[in-house]
Every structure is written in C-alpha cells, then in structure tokens.
Amino acid sequence: MRLVVLSSKTGGGHEMRAQAIQEICNDLDIESIILRPLETDSHLYLFGTHLYNWIQRFYPRLHCLYFRWLEYASLHNHANKIIGSREFLRKMNGFYPNLVISVHAHLNHGFLELSKRINKHKPPKFAIYCGELADGIGFSKHWVNSRADLFCGPTKKTIDAAIKRGMPAKKCKVWGALLRSSFYRSKDLIEVNSFCLKYQINPSLPVGILATGANGVNSHKEVLHGLAKTAIGTQIIALCGKSTLLFNQLKDFQGKSKIKVIPLMSINANDMKILLDMSDWVFGRPGAGLTSEVISAGKFMYFDTSKGIMPQEQNNLNFWRSSGHEPVLIKNAAKLSRNLRHMKRGKYPNLLVDRELIVQEIKKLLSY
C-alpha cells in the first residue's frame, strides 16, 4: 500500500500534520511520501508561499487582504489551470499511490482532479484533513470539495463548517487532533530527566514557554523585558525555531536578567511534548498546530495578538470561545506579566486525541 500526503510549508501546522500521517504510515509499514507542489513545481506558487510566510512573520494583519484575494482568485481550482501539472503527475505516476491525503486548503481541487488521472479504472482515494479547530472568517472555501472521498478534521465544529460550505455530511468524519506520535505517548521519567539535564531545567520550579511558529513569529524580547521584575523564580523557555540571531540575543539577555531564560533552537516533537507537560503556561500565536498541541497536553495558553492575527488564527480563538472559555488575548506583549501576576489562567477546551481512531480510519481508506 502506498500513500501520498499533499502539504505546503505555509506556516507550520500543515507540515506538522503531514509528518503525523507519515509517522502513522511508518508504524503500519505503508510506503508514504510528502509532496509539496506549491513549493517544488512552480516558481509562481513558490513566490506565493514565500509571500504568505513573510506576511505571517511581519504583517499578520495584511493577510486579511491576501486571504480574500486567494479566496477570489481560486488559482488551484481546476486541473487545467495548475502550473507544473506535468511535474506533479510525473511524481504521482512514479509512486502510484492507493490513497492521497491533503492537509492544505489549496490542494483539494485541481490537484484532486490530477490525482484521479493516475489510474482511471481504479483511481486513488482522496481524503482531506482540515486542521482548523472551528469555523470563522479564516475558514477557506477551498477546504471543501464534494468530490473528495472523505473530509475529516479535529472537531465537530470543523465538520459543521465544511457541511455548511457544501461537503456531504455522509463523507465527513471527526478524527480528532492529528498530532505527531510523541503527543500520544505517556510520560517517560527517564526521558524527562535526560531532557532537564540537557537544557539545565529544574523540574521543581515553574516553567513558562514562549513559543514560536515555523516562520519564527514571536514577541520574545518584548515579553522578557516585561517579565524581568515579575517572573523571578520562573524558568522561561524561549523557543527560537531556526533563528540563530534570536537565540544569541536571548543568550545575551540571559546574562543580564534576574529571571532564568533558557533559549532553545528547533527541538523535536518528543522534546516539545516533554516541555509542554512540564509547563505552567504557554504564550504564542493562535495557530492551529501549536494550539492543538497545547490543549492536548492539558495546558493553558496566552494568545499573542500584539502584531495582529491572521484570519485562520481567528478560527482557533472561535473554538476556544465556542467551548465556553474566553481566550486571554495579549495585545501588548510586554504586559503579559500582568496576567501572570494576577494568575489569569482560565480554562482550556476539550479536544479529541485518539491516535488509534485515526489509524483505523486510514486502514479503512486503504482497505488495509
């Protein structure tokens, strides 16, 4: 059996879910590959990806315009309009999949048509996994294609949003959060102790996490200046992604501050799970990937809205609200300390986390 995951490096959530599917395939001994046609098959699409990531990093509010234009332009809605379609078909024919799972909104129409051309007598099944946690202004119409064999997502709110946009209810299924395999495992004390020793973290002291997305979006420096006098005794773990510059700046800050700041470069899924389990709170943008991981770990999150948010991120805040819990929005990153001082933690919503259910669904799609 062979499975293709269609993904894109716009943001980090799509890639996180693509990796999660591939890890399941590895466990089931299913051949799998991840294809990213928006990055590899067209210079124009690659430019669009870079533009998306640039907006996310520097001017999130601007994405309201870019999102609306993409909704209107429908660049990838028909197979005959897909730039680089020959290259995409060449890769698909070379691998000859039994199942295709798309985790990106713009890969569900024209690319579905192209995928069905692989074998006209028995084309591969095509499933869509939408990571949006709820409906909202950022729920793209491109997620929904009634020709897909299955539409699945993390919550009933996701499914309801798809049905409202024309997806047949009989083709919809709640899969729960699609997370990397480490997030489904119970705590291993030996691994925890090794992690703490490696990064010089005291497991007996409070831990706060300053998170960053795949594109390095963060407000770490502003937050740390605000916490300098109020978070003494708390260990602040600052995730720096791939930014060596930010890492070095925080190392310098570490030597001048009374609070303990531990900057970390990119860490793997297992370390992220350990870190979340240890944490008291998380501060970051309301992306679906990070938000899903934080909720699955049973932790509370402060949402960084200091530089504005993208339409897709609004969907995740709507999920928080629809569950009866008002999200704590931090519009001025330097003032996060006020919320910590007054212990404005609140509660977090419930999210289905059941890897075995997803495994069984993938087997069913493959007639495994």
DSSP letters spanning 128-188: EE----S-STT--GGG--TTSSEEEESSHHHHHHHHHTT--GGGEEE------GGGGSPP-
| Six-digit token string for 85 | 């379609």
- 133: pLDDT strictly greater than 60: yes
> What pLDDT does 64 receive?
87
What 3-state DSSP class applies to 24?
A: helix
| CA 132/CA 155 separation, integer angstroms | 8
231 pLDDT tier (thresholds 50, 70, 90): low
**CA Rg value for the chain:** 21
* pLDDT tens-digit readout, 245-274: 888 888 888 767 778 899 998 889 999 999
* pLDDT tens-digit readout, 154-210: 999 999 999 999 999 999 999 999 999 999 988 788 999 999 999 999 988 999 999
> Is 183-341 in the same CATH topology as 2-179+353-366?
yes
Count the neighbouring beta carbons within 10 Å of the beta carbon of residue 177: 26
Nearest-10 crossing angle of helices 288-296, 311-322 = 30
Task: Spell out the residues 6+ positions from residue 188 whose beta carbon is closer than 8 angstroms to its own.
Answer: none
* pLDDT tens-digit readout, 66-111: 999 999 999 999 999 999 999 999 999 999 999 999 999 999 999 9
Provide the β-strand partners of residue 127. 101, 150
Which of 79-83, 147-151, 231-235, 243-247 comes out lowest in average pLDDT? 231-235
Query: What's the whole-number mean pLDDT along residues 35-52?
Result: 93
**For residues 223 and 210, is the Cβ–Cβ distance under 8 A?**
yes
- As to burial, measured by CB atoms within 10 angstroms (0-12 exposed, 13-18 middle, 19+ buried), residue 119 is middle
DSSP letters spanning 64-130: HHHHHHHHHH-TTSSGGG-TTHHHHHHHHHHH--SEEEE-SGGGSSHHHHHHTTS-SSSPPEEEEE-
> What pLDDT does 214 receive?
64
Q: Could you give the C-alpha distances from 105 to 14, 67, 130, 188, 367, in angstroms and in order? A: 10, 12, 7, 36, 25
What 3-state DSSP class applies to 290?
A: helix
* pLDDT tens-digit readout, 308-365: 889 999 999 999 998 888 899 999 888 888 777 665 566 788 899 999 999 999 999 9
Nearest-10 crossing angle of helices 13-27, 355-366 = 70
- Delimit the domains of the chain by residue range: 2-179+353-366, 183-341
> What pLDDT does 112 receive?
97
| CA 136/CA 31 separation, integer angstroms | 36
Which CATH entry fits the domain spanning 183-341: 3.40.50.2000, 1.20.5.510, 3.40.50.720, 3.30.1490.20?
3.40.50.2000
| Six-digit token string for 260 | 């303990």
User: Which DSSP letter does residue 363 get?
Assistant: H
CATH architecture of 2-179+353-366: 3-Layer(aba) Sandwich (3.40)
Q: Which of 347, 323, 337 is nearest to 155 (CA)?
A: 323
218 or 105: which leads in pLDDT: 105
- On the CB side of 261, CA atoms within 13 Å amount to 27
Phi then psi for residue 120, to 5 deg, are -65, -25
- 368: pLDDT strictly greater than 70: no
> What pLDDT does 12 receive?
83
What 3-state DSSP class applies to 326?
A: coil
- On the CB side of 102, CA atoms within 13 Å amount to 27
> What pLDDT does 120 receive?
81
| Six-digit token string for 296 | 């699955």
**For residues 239 and 209, is the Cβ–Cβ distance under 8 A?**
yes
Phi then psi for residue 69, to 5 deg, are -65, -45
